[in-house]
C-alpha cells in the first residue's frame, strides 16, 4: 500500500518531519524508497540534471510522463508526485484538467505539482475537485526564471512577503494537499507553516517547514555544475564515479579487464573440435 496524501497530512498533525526527494529513473527511485523516503517527486529539475539544460523550461509533459511511469512502476510504497511542466497547466483550467489526468492515468502518479499561488487557485480548485491531488509550489518558481530574472530568493521585501502569505492562503483554500516553499526567507516560511493546515515542504526555506525536498543529484554530489546554497552534499558520488570509470578505462587499456572470473569458458572437447575443424577448413582454402 502506498503512502497517501492523508498520511502526509497526518505527519504534519503529528509533527513528524516529511522527507521528499526527486527521482527520475529506476535507480534513483529504488534507492530513495529503500532509504525510507515516503514521497518522491518526478520533478522538472530533470531538465537540468538529466537533460543538461540550464532551466526547466524545455521539459514537456511527455518527458515527465516517461520518467514518472518508470518511477511508479519500480516503487511500491512511496507517494509519487508528478511535476506539471511549463505551460502544461497555465493556459486554461481545461488544459490543466486534461493534462493532469493524462499524467495520472499514463504514469500512475498519486498527485501532481503545479507552480503558482493566488492566480492559480481556480485551477487548483477544479483539478482537486475532479479527484487529482495537487501539491502547490510557491516562492521561487523555476518555470518563471525568465520573468524573475534568475533563481532569486522570494518574499524578502514587504510586498513580496505579503504576496506569498496571500498565495499560501489561496492555494490552501483552493484544496492543495501540500505546498512547496522554494527559496523563501526562513522566518517567512515559518510564519506560513504556522498559518496553514496543510504541510509545507521547504527547499531553501529554513528548518521550520513541515518537510524538506531536495534534488537527488544535488545531495549526492552528482550535479557538478554548481551547488545551490539550499543543498548539502551527503556524498561526493561524482568523484567516486569518475574514479571508478577511470580505473575501468585503465584496466581495459592494460588488458587487466576482463579477468578470467569475468569471462566465460567452454568445454575442452568442443574447443578441440573447433580447432581441428578450423585447421581443416583453413587447409582446404
Ligand atoms: O523540479 C523539482 O525538482 C522541484 C523541486 C526542486 C521542488 O520542483
pLDDT value, residue 47: 97
Q: Is 102 exposed, middle or buried (0-12, 13-18, 19+ CB in 10 A)?
A: middle
Q: Does some domain include residue 216?
A: yes
Of 182, 225, 236, 254, the active-site residue reads 182
Mean pLDDT of the chain: 95
Of residues 280 and 242, the one with the higher pLDDT is 242
Cβ proximity of 40 and 75 under 8 Å: yes
pLDDT in tens, 60-77: 999 999 999 999 999 999
Ligand 1 shell residues, CB under 6 Å? 22, 41, 43-45, 83, 137, 180, 182, 203, 213, 215
250 pLDDT exceeds 60? yes
Average confidence (pLDDT) over 211-222: 97
Q: Does some domain include residue 264?
A: no
CA angle 260, 269, 264 (to 5 degrees): 20
Please state the atom number of ligand 1 nearest to the C-alpha of residue 20: 7
Identify the CATH number of the domain in which residue 38 sits.
3.20.20.60
Could you tell me the three cell numbers for 263? 569471462
Domain count, the chain: 1
CA distance 81 to 74: 14
pLDDT value, residue 285: 45
pLDDT value, residue 74: 98
225 pLDDT exceeds 90? no
10 pLDDT exceeds 60? yes
Domain that holds residue 190: 5-239
Average confidence (pLDDT) over 125-152: 92
pLDDT value, residue 240: 97
283 pLDDT exceeds 80? no
Q: Does some domain include residue 157?
A: yes
pLDDT value, residue 282: 52
Q: Does some domain include residue 128?
A: yes
- For the full predicted model, state whether its pTM sits above 0.75: yes
pLDDT in tens, 75-96: 999 999 999 999 999 999 999 9
pLDDT bucket at 146, cuts 50 / 70 / 90: confident
Owner of C-alpha cell 585447421: 279
pLDDT value, residue 61: 98
Please state the atom number of ligand 1 nearest to the C-alpha of residue 83: 1
Q: Ligand 1, atom 5: nearest CA belongs to which residue?
A: 43
Q: 204, 213, 228, 230: which to mutate for ligand 1, most atoms within 8 A of CB?
A: 213
Q: Does some domain include residue 250?
A: no
6 Ramachandran zone, left/alpha/beta (phi>0; psi -120 to 50): alpha
- Three-class SS of residue 63? helix
Q: Does some domain include residue 207?
A: yes
pLDDT bucket at 224, cuts 50 / 70 / 90: confident
Average confidence (pLDDT) over 160-175: 97
pLDDT value, residue 185: 97
Cβ proximity of 118 and 170 under 8 Å: yes
Q: Does some domain include residue 67?
A: yes
Q: Does some domain include residue 251?
A: no
pLDDT value, residue 148: 79
pLDDT in tens, 177-203: 999 999 999 999 999 999 999 999 999
Cβ proximity of 70 and 86 under 8 Å: no
Amino acid at each position: 500500500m502506498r503512502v497517501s496524501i492523508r498520511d502526509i497530512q497526518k505527519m504534519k498533525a503529528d509533527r513528524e518531519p516529511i522527507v521528499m526527494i526527486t527521482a527520475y529513473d529506476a535507480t534513483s527511485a529504488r534507492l530513495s524508497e529503500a532509504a525510507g523516503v515516503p514521497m518522491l517527486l518526478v520533478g522538472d529539475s530533470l531538465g537540468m540534471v538529466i537533460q543538461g539544460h540550464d532551466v526547466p523550461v524545455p521539459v514537456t509533459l511527455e518527458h515527465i510522463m516517461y520518467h514518472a511511469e518508470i518511477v511508479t512502476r519500480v516503487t511500491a510504497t512511496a507517494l509519487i508526485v508528478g511535476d506539471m511542466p511549463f505551460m502544461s497547466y497555465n493556459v486554461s483550467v481545461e488544459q490543466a484538467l486534461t493534462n493532469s489526468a493524462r499524467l495520472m492515468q499514463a504514469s500512475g502518479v498519486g498527485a501532481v505539482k503545479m507552480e503558482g499561488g493566488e492566480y492559480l487557485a481556480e485551477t487548483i480548485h477544479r483539478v482537486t475537485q475532479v479527484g487529482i491531488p495537487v501539491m502547490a509550489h510557491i516562492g521561487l518558481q523555476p518555470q518563471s526564471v525568465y520573468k524573475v530574472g534568475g533563481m532569486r530568493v522570494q518574499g524578502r521585501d514587504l510586498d513580496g512577503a505579503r504576496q506569498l502569505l496571500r498565495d499560501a492562503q489561496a492555494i490552501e483554500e483552493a484544496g492543495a494537499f501540500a505546498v512547496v516553499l522554494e527559496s523563501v526567507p526562513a522566518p517567512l516560511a515559518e510564519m506560513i507553516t504556522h498559518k496553514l493546515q496543510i504541510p509545507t515542504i521547504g527547499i531553501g526555506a529554513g528548518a521550520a517547514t513541515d518537510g524538506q525536498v531536495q534534488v537527488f543529484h544535488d545531495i549526492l554530489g552528482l550535479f557538478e555544475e554548481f551547488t545551490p546554497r539550499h543543498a548539502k552534499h551527503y556524498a561526493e558520488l561524482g568523484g567516486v564515479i569518475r574514479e571508478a570509470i577511470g580505473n575501468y578505462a585503465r584496466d581495459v587499456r592494460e588488458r587487466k579487464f576482463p579477468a578470467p572470473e569475468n569471462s566465460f569458458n567452454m568445454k575442452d572437447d568442443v574447443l578441440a573440435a573447433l580447432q581441428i575443424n578450423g585447421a581443416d577448413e583453413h587447409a582446404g582454402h
